[in-house]
Amino acid sequence: MKTTLTVIKADVGGFTGHSDVHPKLIESAQKSLESGKKKGIILDYHVAKSGDDLELIMTHTRGTDSKEVHELAWDTFVGATAIAKDLKLYGAGQDLLADAFSGNIKGMGPGCAELEFEERKSEPILVFMMDKTDPGAFNLPVFKMFADPFNTAGLTIDPTMINGFRFEVWDVYENKRIMLDTPEELYTLLSLIGTKSKYVIKRVYPRAGNKVPENEAVAAVSTDKLHLIAGEYVGKDDPVAIVRCQSGLPSQGEVLEPFAFPHLVAGWMRGSHNGPLMPVGQKNSMTTRFDGPTRVVGLGFQIANGKLVGPADLLGDIAFDNARKKALEIADYMRRHGPFEPHRLSAEEMEYTSMPKVMEKIKERFEKI
Ligand code: 13P
Ligand code: 13P
Ligand code: MG
Ligand code: MG
């Protein structure tokens, strides 16, 4: 019997502004998932938050893209939205871009990452949840976990990892994908995923010789782009990722290691600025300064016969204190640029924010020179 871990998230209203999730929304989501568990739709669940995003972490045996599981998540968000509207929370129902559920949550606004697998003797899995950024923010850390020997010692020490990993990369604008094998196609992979607004890592697979079968993805990232669905700026995508660890895969510590470097990502204020990605514990996920800085929460679970044992609030540990401090220094530095690039996103990326509406207003006033 295979287990599926599904993480589905949405911003259904911020408390206050775009900063946090109100406790009543968490409570409402817990009740909804508890009833889904009683009905046998899911085996177990954990409700988390990252900034203003409500995060549903669920286990079941229905495989990826299960209509029942996606519908449970949708109904959970609809229920929480009703409360958000009562409390007049900011942007109530922000990410629910469709009127009614239509079979699969993809393309309806919420973000989704899923992995189906045969549970190993021990199954440690990490769930990463970011607020105020887009899916490309996962490119650098996921690349480091599975392809950088300076990050992941196992790539050079563990005989079952020495053949490397296969990356599934999506072009999110053209709806195309490419499979690239590392280490031999490392440079080609980097030439694509360095352009993180367009090319995003969707999944990672083990290669021959690993203990995990080649067709079983070991990492998955939500790649849902809100502006491509809505046709205008409605908030940032705020992606999630699931990563399996240990026994032929990067160890938990190797999966966490990339977050010790607060790299620059797109998002932050109005989804229009580059800034550092700050690792935080669950209780510090609230975004404040300039609606940020962009944050990532990392929760660990041991999966035991479909049950979620956890969470362990891994990125909240003191080992990431220096990364937080560095992130705050970078935030100071970047902020001093005000409206100037490269703090503000490039003109090309600003096309997907509210900027085109400003340009529309003045376009007639440009004269030939
Ligand atoms: P243990 O020997 O404690 O299992 O640790 C192995 C390992 O993978 C450390 O990263
Ligand atoms: P969210 O995408 O987290 O709702 O943030 C939107 C925003 O504009 C923050 O300034
Ligand atoms: Mg919001
Ligand atoms: Mg958000």
Q: Whose CA is nearest to atom 4 of ligand 2?
A: 235
* pLDDT at residue 19 tops 90: yes
Active site residue 134: no
- Is residue 233 annotated as a catalytic residue, yes or no? yes
Separation of 89 CA from ligand 3 center, angstroms?
10
pLDDT one-digit tens code per residue, 32-89: 999 999 999 999 999 999 999 999 999 999 999 999 999 999 999 999 999 999 999 9
Neighbours of ion ligand 4 (CB under 5 A): 11, 51-53, 131, 238
Give 145-180 pLDDT, tens digit per residue.
Answer: 999 999 999 999 999 999 999 999 999 999 999 999
Asked whether the beta carbons of 262 and 292 are under 8 A apart, the reply is no
DSSP letter assigned to residue 155: H
Residue 65 burial by CB count (10 A; 0-12/13-18/19+): exposed, middle or buried?
middle
Among 131, 157, 155, 158, CA closest to 143: 155
> Torsion angle of alpha carbons 341, 342, 347, 348, nearest 10°?
180
Q: What is the pLDDT of residue 112?
A: 97
Q: What is the pLDDT confidence band of residue 265, given thresholds at 50, 70 and 90? A: very high
Ligand nearest to the CA of 152: 1
What is the amino acid identity at position 312?
A
Best probe residue, ligand 1, of 122, 246, 247 (max atoms within 8 Å of C-beta): 246
Catalytic one of 9, 236, 238, 291: 236
Would you say 128 and 264 are in contact if contact means Cβ atoms under 8 Å apart? no
Q: What is the pLDDT of residue 229?
A: 87
Mean pLDDT of the chain: 97
Tell me the CA–centroid distance for residue 46 and ligand 4, in Å.
19
Q: Which ligand is nearest to the CA of 269?
A: 2
Which tokens hold the place of 130? 């970011």
Mutate to test the pocket of ligand 2, among 265, 270, 294, 295 (most ligand atoms within 8 A of CB): 270
What is the DSSP annotation of 204-267? EEE-TTSSS-TTS-SEEE----HHHHHSS--S----EEEEE-STTS--HHHHHGGGGS--EEEE
Mean pLDDT of 92-113: 94
Mean pLDDT for the stretch of residues 106-117: 96
Mean pLDDT throughout 187-199? Answer: 97
Residue pair 94/11 in contact by the 8 Å Cβ criterion: yes
Q: How far is the CA of 14 from the centre of ligand 4 (A)?
A: 8
User: Closest ligand 2 atom to the C-alpha of 95?
Assistant: 4
Pocket of ligand 1 (CB under 6 A): 251, 253
Tell me, yes or no, if 236 is annotated catalytic. Answer: yes
238 close to ligand 2 (CB < 6 Angstrom): yes
Q: Is 51 in the pocket of ligand 2 (CB under 6 A)?
A: yes
pTM of the complete model:
0.97
Is the CB of 291 within 6 Å of ligand 2? yes
Average pLDDT over residues 252-278: 98
Asked if 69 and 41 touch (Cβ cutoff 8 Å), the reply is yes
Residue 165 main-chain phi, psi, to 5 deg: -135, 160
Q: Is the pLDDT of residue 3 over 90?
A: yes
Per-residue confidence (pLDDT) for residue 283, from 0 to 100: 97
The answer to whether the CB of 273 is under 6 A from ligand 2 is no
Atom of ligand 2 at shortest range from CA of 237? 2
pLDDT at residue 183, as a whole number? 98
Collect all residues with Cβ–Cβ distance below 8 Å to 90 and sequence separation of at least 6.
13, 14, 15, 16, 17, 18, 52
Query: Out of 199, 205, 233, 352, which one is annotated catalytic?
Result: 233
Residue with tokens 């809505």: 230
Mutate to test the pocket of ligand 1, among 121, 244, 251 (most ligand atoms within 8 A of CB): 251
- Measured in Å, residue 155 CA sits from the centre of ligand 2 at 37
Whose C-alpha lies nearest to ligand 1, atom 6? 251
Dihedral angle at the C-alpha atoms of 249, 253, 255, 260, nearest 10 degrees?
-160
pLDDT digits (tens, 9 = 90+) for 209-258: 999 999 999 999 999 888 888 888 888 899 999 999 999 999 999 999 99
Letter for the amino acid at 35? S
Q: What is the pLDDT of residue 37?
A: 98
Ligand 2 in reach of 131 Cβ (< 6 A): yes
Residues 201 and 222: their CA atoms lie apart, in Å, by 9
